[in-house]
Amino acid sequence: MSALPHDLYCDEIIARTDALRAAINGADLNATVPTCPDWTLRDLAGHVGGAHRWVSEIVRTRATEMIPLQEVAESRPEGDDPAVLDAWLADGAAETAGLLRAAGPDEKVWSWGWEHSTGFWSRRMAHETIVHQADAALTVGAGYEVAPELAADTIEEWLEIVAFARSTGDKGAAGLTGAGRSIHLHATDVPDAEWLIEFGADGFGWRHAHEKATVSLRGPLTDVMLVFNRRLAADSGRVEVLGDAELLDFWLEHTTFG
């Protein structure tokens, strides 16, 4: 499964921000986010809006070096007025999507990742917002849905992020080795949405395959994605874990960055 069109990612930045705004509308913004327990809903909104503005600045200036996150991302509105926060979120998403759309996917800009392009950032911000919308929905008990192609690409991008983190010496990801072990992700509601993650002595790789593995995580694609992104507990009853559950736990424990 390859990356999706740039314009779709730009659309998703806005759509997912709108869904996050709807989820927190009328909610207690001081409520703790269970999936990010150091944050309140207000902190979550500030993080998302700040990340959008950071990327906007990278794209607007065609930055070739890192722009310090704190210079831009902490520009959240002062005071406690939910309407001001809501408008700030909407404006940030619209600005980010608009700048990325105008730039197209191939402009060279700084990124922390394996690609230095505006296309990297449209994909990254779409999935950043997809996952944090889940945080908001789970906090307030709202419904949560993701189109299959986006849920699948969220998994694919997360695998790429974990592999990149390992290549740059991340201590947690460095432990993702062990020849002969494997994890199978299997969506039960979307054809061919399967991943086989295979560990070796020098790391791990993945491919799309339906094969027996050390442990299998099975369920609806969105729920598999949420478990894989540590937003839904593997024992929630919404997915099945077949085989060596400790290996799945091992993976989740070693991919806690980001």
Phi, psi (degrees; rounded to nearest 5) at 219: 165, -175
- State the total domains in the chain: 2
Mean pLDDT of 64-70: 89
Q: Does residue 117 lie within any of the structural domains?
A: yes
Mean pLDDT of 78-90: 93
| Secondary structure of residue 117 in the 3-state scheme | strand
Give me the CATH number covering residue 196: 3.30.1050.10
| Same domain? 71 vs 102 | yes
Mean pLDDT of 128-136: 98
Domain limits for position 220: 151-253
Phi, psi (degrees; rounded to nearest 5) at 55: -65, -35
Q: How far apart are alpha carbons 95 and 218 in whole angstroms?
A: 38
Give me the CATH number covering residue 11: 1.20.120
Torsion angle defined by CA atoms of residues 234, 126, 86 and 142, in that order, rounded to the nearest 10 degrees = -30
Q: Does residue 115 lie within any of the structural domains?
A: yes
Residue 229 has pLDDT above 50, yes or no: yes
| pLDDT score at 214 | 97
Q: How far apart are alpha carbons 105 and 117 in whole angstroms?
A: 7
Where does a domain end: 140, 169, 197?
Answer: 140
Pairing between β-strand 36-40 and β-strand 32-33 as defined by DSSP bridges: antiparallel
| Same domain? 20 vs 101 | yes
| Same domain? 126 vs 29 | yes
- Average model confidence (pLDDT) across the chain: 95
| Radius of gyration of the CA atoms of the chain, in A | 18
Task: Report pTM.
Answer: 0.95
Mean pLDDT of 237-246: 97
Q: Does residue 85 lie within any of the structural domains?
A: yes
* CA 68, chain centre distance (Å): 21
Q: Work out the pLDDT band at 74, boundaries 50, 70, 90.
A: low
Looking at per-residue pLDDT, the higher value among 223 and 71 belongs to 223
pLDDT 10s digits, 5-38: 999 999 999 999 999 999 999 999 999 999 999 9
**Half-sphere exposure for 77 (CA within 13 Å, toward CB):** 16
| pLDDT score at 1 | 40
| pLDDT score at 178 | 86
Residue 244 has pLDDT above 80, yes or no: yes
Q: Does residue 258 lie within any of the structural domains?
A: no
Report which DSSP code applies to 91.
Answer: H
